[in-house]
Amino acid sequence: MRKLLALLLAAALTLSLGAALAQENWEIVVVPKDASNPWFVRMKVGVDEYAKETGLNLYQKGTPEIDATLQAQLVQDLIAQGVDAICVVPVNPESLEPVLKQAMDAGIVVIAHEGASLTNVNYDIEAFSNSGYGAFIMDNLAEAMGGEGLYTTMVAHVTNASHNEWADGGVARQKEAYPNMTLLEAEPRVESEDNGDVAYNKAKELFKKYPDLKGIMGTSSYDAPGIARAIEELGLQGKVFTSGTGMPAANKAILDSGIVKSLTLWDPALAGKAMAALAVKVLKGEEITAPVDLGVEGYTALTFKAGSDKVLEGQGWVVITKDNVDSFGF
């Protein structure tokens, strides 16, 4: 009985403490997949910057390693602390659902990123729609190719949903905006198996069989670097081109040497800011109707994903060239 009383008292205390704090100085916590991955270190840069700009009690807290169980524990701890909003990048969306439900039940605002399948959240922010990102890669490839010539697309596997949606989006964009470009009908989509060496060998084969091929649109982050290696070795620099997803630091060499003019990516720092901004909007009780303007670059006209009232998609892609490759820190 005394135990129960103590527990109730403790609960009441935390609640009142939470309520007292919860006027303007909301406590907003960003929980990444882990704390040491350069991707999330970059996210922390954005979060800290946003905290400074807005004066919010906003900070990022991650587990030492990527582990769904540790992440769930961390979220539970934050619920117990009575924070006002949790912005989370789930390691494993399914296993996090029950914990997020606890958070929602406790009246905490939950914003997710890269967790479009989650149901126990207020909103989930995706950096972009898959077709929009594909169109963006195509714009970069078309610019390198001078808007003309034969091209094809490369995905990790033809069964990979997002890569194929990107590739479809790219092809659709070409059809609508670049009439002088043509898709290689004989091999419209090749596989890199998420392996730089396979991407390299496939590219070599393509260039041998189709001498007119002028560009390859990569999707997986191994595609463009592998294709670039083939371009360099075959002596095709300046004649054929590639663009696609790529990490800045890993691809500094091929960007600097000019084999690849531009790569595409989304910036985790901006995603961190966007989550925090949306959390503030929800805490303020503002109505969230599309298009949502979060005042963060690339997240100024978020729209709901078709058929969803939780998943918001932005235009949060960035282009990496040799001029800005050093500015990301990952």
Partner 1 sequence: MRQWLRRLTRRNEPYIFLVLLALCLLIEVRSGQFFTANNLVDIASAMVVPGLFALGIYMVIVSGGIDVSFPALASLTSYATTKYLLDAGYTGGIWLPMAMSLVMGAALGAVNGVFIGFFGLPAMIVTLGTSSVFKGLMQGALNSVQLAVIPEGMRQFGTDALFVATNPVSGLSSRMPVSFLIFAAVVLLVFFLMRYTYFGRGIYAMGGNEVSAHRAGFHTRRTKFFLYVIVGMIASAAGLIRTCMMQQNHPTNMLGMEMNIIAGVVLGGTAITGGAGSVTGCMLGTLLIVIVENSMILIGIPTVWKSVFVGALIVIGTGVSAMQVVRANRLAANRNLTQEAAKA
Residues near partner 1 (CB under 8 A): 158, 186-187, 189-191, 195-197, 200-202, 204-209, 211, 222, 225, 229, 233-236, 247, 249-253
Please give the torsion angle defined by the CA atoms of residues 289, 60, 117 and 245, in that order, rounded to the nearest 10 degrees: 90
CB of 85 to partner 1, least distance (A): 31
Pick the closer one to partner 1 by CB: 52 or 209.
209
Pick the closer one to partner 1 by CB: 46 or 225.
225
Pick the closer one to partner 1 by CB: 74 or 254.
254
Pick the closer one to partner 1 by CB: 207 or 266.
207
CB of 49 to partner 1, least distance (A): 25
Look up residue 295 and give its two tokens.
């005042």
CB of 207 to partner 1, least distance (A): 6
CB of 223 to partner 1, least distance (A): 13
Pick the closer one to partner 1 by CB: 75 or 184.
184
CB of 58 to partner 1, least distance (A): 28
Pick the closer one to partner 1 by CB: 108 or 213.
213
CB of 251 to partner 1, least distance (A): 7
CA distances from 61 to 16, 200, 216, 261, 275 (A): 24, 39, 39, 36, 14
